A and B are shown apart, each in its own frame.
Chain A
């Protein structure tokens, strides 16, 4: 991923709205995990990882609770591996306490077909046995191909399948924004 990604398309969330959405999700996670004591935030590579870190930062800010935070690369569990050349792997980094018996909150930028989340669930299966798994996404754009739903959603964004949704984050792209555009890429 290059640093300053081109801002093509219409902005549907700006930096301030992303900030507010994450603040709300952080509160919801605290509520739904009963204070977050047993919670582990796992960001899905690439943009889920900075999102998970931000959520952990908010929770620390609100409650003074340091929720373990990690990164999960699901490439080796994907079902579309054979549709493209083999990809470079991202880094998987589990918190020191592991995930056994914990409530794992998977964090990703966009929820679309649900296939990435299925791969993530498979990956978790090989890594341990969490007590429960929840899903937080910044944008849910619909068009699910699997029976998967998010527990925490930043924004529901009705889209057509011909459109492309891009989440830009300061840590990866230099600035925060959610953009929507007509099929810009083949």
Chain B
């Protein structure tokens, strides 16, 4: 039994569809005058953020509040962590306060996994180091399904992403979003290709269920989705490319490159953007960009995750063991 959401690798195809379909139903809540459901009344969700974040923390907070859960925000700055408290001791404190779920963002890959062994509640990974960010992958899958399946079939519930070609571009090496997306999107049937400079492709990428290309221009005409990654300068401890301008020229998405995409293709970015580096401003603001939509969908998808992990009895509805591929 697994009651946590730590890695997109643990999410089976049926669980992923359950989450996306649940989110599809919950999406209507955002359009109502009363954006609130009583479902998680009396449950406590702790946002444990060791790294800076705006959208993810606010998104989880909004999701929990729309389901009537109590939310405790904890950021490492200005807390006992600054005095040297360990993750385990912080976890035990939260445990004693009766947290039903801990949403954790941490700079160290694997921190949520460790935390899951210490607390009784559910642990949701909101980004750990360069490892994973599973709810981002879920909201991206949700956005892709709505944008590309919606106009064709109307009702997208129960549909997977079979045959959709996704190109993930840029700093894959430092990206937890890329890894989670490769795992989840391929579980849902999409064909994922990474397009990145050789220096920004992680070791061991050969075992990932995706293709690799060093030439973005060759991939564009055969992409239904282009997902631009942020160049994570704060994690770069060496010179991975000669200059920002050169990176931008070879791997940045500008208007000219966007014109080479198929008619229906969409442009995604997990945010925050470096306008003018990996994505040009006019591309980010174009109608083909889903960047703002992704933020709105993030709340909906996180509501679905919290509902499925906390809404029922002890045993959650999404069994994250026994992964089927």
A-side residues, CB < 8 A to B, are 73, 76-77, 81-92, 122, 126-127
Contacts and interface: CB of A to CB of B under 8 A. Distances in A.
Contacts of A87: 312, 317
Contacts of B21: 88-89
A81 B37 contact: no
Nearest to B23: A89
B312 A122 contact: no
Interface string B302-317: 0000011111110111
19 contacts: A73-B25, A76-B311, A77-B37, A81-B312, A82-B313, A83-B313, A84-B312, A85-B313, A85-B315, A85-B316, A85-B317, A86-B307, A86-B311, A87-B317, A89-B21, A90-B25, A92-B25, A126-B34, A127-B32
Interface in B67-105: none
A88 B317 CA distance: 8
Contacts of A91: 25, 157
Nearest to A90: B25
A90 B22 CA distance: 8
B311 A81 contact: yes
A88 B316 CA distance: 11
Contact of A76 (B32, B34, B39, B313): B39
B28 interface: yes
A92 B31 CA distance: 13
Interface string B186-221: 000000000000000000000000000000000000
B242 interface: no
Contacts of B307: 76, 86
Interface centre among B18, B307, B310, B316 (most CB of A within 10 A): B307
Q: Which 10 A-B pairs have the closest CB atoms?
A: A86-B312, A86-B317, A86-B311, A89-B25, A85-B312, A76-B39, A85-B315, A76-B37, A126-B34, A85-B317
Interface residues of B, number: 23
A84 B307 CA distance: 13
The B contact surface, by secondary structure, is loop
A89 B39 contact: no
Nearest to A88: B18
B287 interface: no
Given A90-B25, A92-B28, 19 more contacts: A73-B25, A76-B37, A76-B39, A77-B39, A81-B39, A83-B313, A84-B313, A85-B312, A86-B311, A86-B312, A86-B317, A87-B317, A88-B18, A88-B22, A89-B22, A89-B25, A126-B32, A127-B32, A127-B34
A159 to B, nearest CB: 27
B322 interface: no
B36 interface: yes
Given A76-B39, A91-B25, A92-B25, A86 B34 contact: no
B26 interface: yes
A92 to B, nearest CB: 6
A86 B308 contact: yes
A89 B28 contact: no
B38 interface: yes
B30 to A, nearest CB: 13
A91 B315 CA distance: 23
A46 to B, nearest CB: 14
Contacts of A84: 312-313
A145 B259 CA distance: 63
Nearest to A89: B25
Contact of B36 (A81, A88, A92, A126): A126
Contacts of A92: 25, 28
Contacts of A73: 25
A166 to B, nearest CB: 24
Contacts of B26: 89
Interface in B1-50: 18, 21-22, 25-26, 28, 32, 34, 36-39
A81 B317 CA distance: 12
Contacts of A85: 312-313, 315-317
A81 B308 CA distance: 11
A115 to B, nearest CB: 14
Interface centre among A76, A83, A126 (most CB of B within 10 A): A76
A85 B316 CA distance: 5
A77 B311 contact: no
A77 B34 CA distance: 14
B70 to A, nearest CB: 16
A83 B314 CA distance: 9
Contacts of B317: 85-88
